[in-house]
Amino acid sequence: MHPFLRNRQQLFLYLALWLPIAIYFARSLTIASPPWPFREAVGVSLLLCLELAFLFLSLYFLCRALPLNSTQLSVLLPSQAAAILAASALWVFLALFLAFVLDRIDEHSFRLPFVQDIAPDLLLFSSVVLSLAQAVNYLLLSLDEQREAQRHQEQMRTLAREAELRSLRSQINPHFLFNSLNSVSALTTSNPERAREMCLLLADFFRRNLDVGNQECTTLGEEVDLVFHYLQIEMARFGKRLQLDLDIPDALRPFPVPPLILQPLVENAVKHGIAGLVEGGLIRIHARPVSHNGLAITVDNPFDPDQPRRRRKGIGLQNVRSRLEMRYGSDARFDVQREEGRFRARVQILSTLAPATSANPATSANTAIPNSTQEANPA
């Protein structure tokens, strides 16, 4: 389909561009010698311009069949010239036919001789107009190809971004599983009863993890519920060494976030913070609104400043940063700070996703997490 026919506005605008030509033809006929009647002049001019506009559009398909970048000049030029001449001849023939019909209706036969006299000028005019039409048609085809190439590139970028997101998300579960199995292993000899309890908590956690992790988007409330269950597992291992300060306003719980975005931050706080301190410490998870309906989440934990720095950042923090960049671009930020023996990870999301739906409403409804300090094993 010709681009001008893809919507009514473009079609009406295209036809409106022919009105000045029709007015010029009508004026020329009314001042001819002898002059044409006004109604006849307007009617003939409109019909001729309408036919020329149709021929303009029909030549588009020839341009599409003979693209510039893949058609030899020995084929392109003769084909285009023949098409333009044939279309121009058809247009002049219509003008002669209209003049002939009008002369048969009216006893004064002056129209056909007049059109015959100007037929060479009409043929030249239509040839020039249709030659310009072919240039415009090739330009439209070039613009369509560019748009299609850009659309294809965008689709490929989207597919690559989604594939990388799936790859990053697939790394989260094994990463957590390794840490959890290490915790169970540490308890099997020192406290078998807690090791058994931790296995039960793990089973419940992974059931919830599957519900949330398989979604494209979840809510902050569901994400915090999942983190709380993870910390229950770690509390079975650390006892009173692990304390939790959870401050999530109810108004922010429906805020849509990527699934499992907090899990790596909390794992990092336990593994590289609490686990390295003999006396343990307090993990703070706070959420606050920011400008333009955004959200800021902070995970704060103590750590031993004398412990050797890791040579590279953990896979969890890298996943969080990469997922935020690919999903939100410049509308999300991820910062980490170390000061006065505390490590702070801050996720800031400046734009919301589509509203998220709960994968398991009953699960969320049954999990009430108070905004207070939790310590030791809740059981």
Tell me the two tokens of residue 248.
């999530």
Q: What are the residue boundaries of the structural domains of the chain, listed by start?
A: 3-155, 191-375
Contacts with 161 (C-beta within 8 Å, 6 or more apart), sequence order: 326
* DSSP helix, strand, coil percent of the chain (3-state; round to 5): 65, 15, 20
Q: What is the pLDDT along the chain (379 residues), one digit of tens a residue?
A: 777 777 788 788 888 888 888 898 888 888 888 888 888 889 989 988 888 888 888 888 888 888 888 888 888 889 989 999 999 999 899 989 988 888 888 766 788 888 888 889 889 988 998 898 888 888 888 888 888 888 888 777 766 766 665 665 555 556 567 767 777 787 788 778 877 877 887 777 777 766 655 567 889 998 898 888 888 878 877 888 999 999 999 999 999 988 888 988 998 898 889 988 989 899 999 999 987 788 999 999 999 887 766 655 566 788 788 888 878 888 899 999 988 889 999 999 987 654 444 444 333 333 444 444 444 333 3
Residue 266: CA count within 13 A, CB half-sphere: 30
DSSP letter for 278, please.
T
In whole angstroms, give the CA distance from residue 355 to residue 218. Answer: 8
Q: What letter represents residue 18's amino acid?
A: W
Q: Which homologous superfamily does the CATH classification assign to the domain defined by 191-375? A: Histidine kinase-like ATPase, C-terminal domain (3.30.565.10)
Q: How far is CA 178 from each of CA 87, 223, 241, 334, rounded to the nearest angstrom?
A: 75, 20, 21, 25
